[in-house]
Chain A
Amino acid sequence: MTARSVLAASAAVTCLALPALAEPQAEVLHWWTSGGEAKSVAVLQEEFAERGGTWTDMPVAGGGGDAAMTALRARVLSGNAPTAVQLKGPAIQEWYEEGVLADISSVAEAQGWADVLPDQLAAHMKCDGSWCAAPVNVHRINWIWGNKEILDANGIEMPTTWEEFNAAAEKLQAAGITPLAHGGQAWQDATVFETVVLGLGGAEFFQSALVDLDPEALGSDTMVQVFDEMRTLRGYVDDNFSGRDWNLATAMVMNGEAAFQIMGDWAKGEFLAAGKVPGEDFTCSPTPGEGYLYNVDSFAMFEVEGEDKRAGQELLAELIVGPSFQETFNLNKGSIPVRSDVSLEAFDMCAHISAEDMAADSENGSLLPSYAHGMALRGEPAGAITDVVTAHFNSEMSSEEAVEMLVNAVAAAQ
């Protein structure tokens, strides 16, 4: 067999395997660069290659996506947008308004996305009624993680109201244990804040205050109570919390230095990586109150030139929402699949709670977008609220002052 015939044979095989004319190309901008996340992206990359596509990876680490967004802006301004970009929530709409997103409705319709995605989550993926992004996962934000050993030793049940939480915290403090592990970074303060808003105000209040930005709700007595509770929580945090990273706070719970942490379900990944077992070493339950705050990661598809790139975009969208990637990715990432028809057999108990609550809360109207993680609001009003929350949490400001500041800041940001 000569070299020529080998070439001819391989060319023939390629032609057989790929009836499509254009070879799918995709350049993917994302910031999933840490351990579990990088592994998850590699899964997608492999699936993409198996289907004959060429994947150009463009990971930009740093700043929780800030660095990637800067890179994206430069690329879009120079008229050379990547094929797909990790974007979420209102940011998708913001980019759509700049007129740079592509329409992937054909894939969505062919794959029947509308039937398998919860309506509310699907709404984030649509721009003016047509699909422009593909959802990857659902993170729940309002989790409270507990150290089982400490809680059992002190006879504490997982609290279901904030009063119960405060009572449990007092008890723990008396026993010399830091009740709440917390990292003093603005986004972590905001995370705790939104769970308190949901817990004390309920789903409707959350919707009007942090999604619709109703000035009446923002300036209400309920909001004063929320800030009062934030001040109380400040007392349950150790003195050394400023600037601490979230995973160090998780480690405090793991090592028995602290009893609780309020954090999204990526914290579960830390527990699991340390060999802890849910239900035995640590507990996962929703924060006090009813409702479900979600953070959905997704890939937005940008307008690109060329048949091969468009084919790549469509293939990518199909794979991302496909059941096999949804399962593998979310097992690695600690979140749950966004599709309602993926079997959860391989998932742990926390994921089961998350999936059941999502279905239930979706029916009750208490499935809500997280403000602290950029699902509910655009950058500016969200930032304005976070500024007030973190200023209040880290000073002696009174709750009334904070509420007044909040109303003014939100009004100025609109």
Chain B
Amino acid sequence: MTKWLETQVPKLVLAPSFVAILVFVYGFIGWTAWVSLTRSKLMPRYDFDGFGQYAKLFSTPRWDTAITNLGIYGVLFIAISMALGLLLAILLDQQIRVEGAIRTIYLYPMALSMIVTGTAWKWILNPGLGLEAMVRGWGFEDFTFNWLVDPNMAIYTIVLAGVWQAAGFVMALFLAGLRSVDGEIIKAAQVDGIPHWRIYTAIIIPSMAPVFLSAFIVLAHLAIKSFDLVIALTGGGPGYATDLPATYMYAMAFSRGNLGQAASSAMVMMAVVFAIVVPYLYSELRAKND
């Protein structure tokens, strides 16, 4: 009896959340997929219409902009956050004084909501009241920094604010990774007279591969679901120059009354996430089975 309880209780306890996830996550993914194949407008309708919504989606210039922006933002956001995070972690790892305080300072942006980050950066980058106005006030009349209002550059302001927020978090991840490297190996290398930077590039960083992967996955999904930062910082503007798939989906579902179009864009976003996560899961699962 006790034996039976021991094996069954965990299953019983997990069952409700399992059912909830099954219905509210996978069930609604299925529902969204179904709606994306219909001509739903204001309210969901369930008449099958094939892939019309997807064809329309990919012929919409605004969606092109959104996908291109996701590419630019995703690549730059992930690459810069990781590079900057790693650099900060290595610098912090040099047994410096007040490391705890500095670590906290760099980690703090993560505690802010993206809305706060976006609003603060909106004011900083606003040419009329932020950085540009300040530098001009110092007497440099020709100084221009108007990325926020320049449709070609506005997407980079989102990268800037995003990196500011996430780099500290990545630093914390990497710092933990650096500390977990076996000290004996490093000491052995030092005894052999290997230069400091070589120890990092040849020993420490390669042994941190799993941390890189975790950081990448966390940043990638942050990038794909980015919504609040764009809304607060640029509102998708100028025009729709900084639209991302998530803001496109929101506009379609909630302002345009076009659920079918919104559902199809949501499915494409999910496909992008899958393209990143599935190889990761696959490698993780394989590693465990070995």
Contact = CB atoms under 8 A, between A and B. Distances in A.
Interface of A: 63, 66-67, 69-70, 73, 76-77, 91, 94-95, 98, 184-186, 189, 238-243, 378-380, 383, 387, 390-395, 405, 409, 412
Nearest to A100: B43
A66 B247 CA distance: 14
21 contacts: A69-B254, A70-B254, A73-B42, A184-B237, A185-B237, A186-B237, A186-B239, A186-B240, A239-B128, A240-B128, A240-B149, A242-B234, A242-B237, A242-B238, A243-B237, A380-B256, A383-B255, A391-B62, A392-B239, A393-B239, A412-B59
A24 B164 CA distance: 56
B165 interface: no
A387 B240 contact: yes
Contacts of B42: 73, 94-95, 98, 379
B241 interface: yes
Interface in B152-210: none
A242 B256 contact: no
B103 to A, nearest CB: 35
Contact of B256 (A67, A77, A383): A383
Interface string B116-156: 00000010001110000000000000000010110100000
Nearest to B255: A66
A185 B235 contact: yes
Contacts of B268: none
B257 interface: yes
Nearest to B45: A98
Given A63-B255, A73-B42, A242-B237, 5 more contacts: A77-B43, A242-B149, A380-B41, A380-B256, A391-B240
B149 A241 contact: yes
A243 B234 contact: yes
B61 interface: yes
A196 B19 CA distance: 57
Nearest to A388: B61
B251 interface: yes
Question: By CB atoms of chain A within 10 A, which of B62, B126, B257 has the most?
Answer: B257
A390 B254 CA distance: 19
A70 B252 CA distance: 12
Given A63-B255, A240-B128, A383-B256, A394 B239 contact: yes
A95 to B, nearest CB: 7
B95 interface: no
A240 B127 contact: yes
A305 B234 CA distance: 45
Interface string B212-255: 00000000000000000000001101111100000000010011
Contacts of A185: 235, 237
B266 to A, nearest CB: 16
B240 A390 contact: yes
Contacts of A409: 60-61
A69 B259 CA distance: 13
Nearest to B148: A242
Contacts of B44: 77
B126 A240 contact: yes
B36 interface: no
A380 B257 contact: yes
Contacts of B258: 379-380, 383
Given A184-B149, A380-B256, A73 B237 contact: no
List of 3 A-B pairs having minimum Cβ-Cβ separation, nearest first:
A394-B239, A240-B128, A394-B238
Given A184-B238, A391-B239, A66 B254 contact: yes
Contacts of B251: 383
B68 to A, nearest CB: 13
Contacts of A380: 41, 256-258
B4 to A, nearest CB: 42
Contacts of A91: 257
A64 to B, nearest CB: 8
Contacts of B238: 184, 242-243, 390, 394-395
Contacts of B235: 185, 243
A379 B43 contact: no
Contacts of A379: 41-42, 255-258
Given A63-B254, A66-B255, A241-B149, A394 B241 contact: yes
Contacts of B237: 184-186, 242-243, 390, 394
B56 interface: yes
Given A186-B237, A243-B235, A379-B255, A394 B151 contact: yes
B47 to A, nearest CB: 14
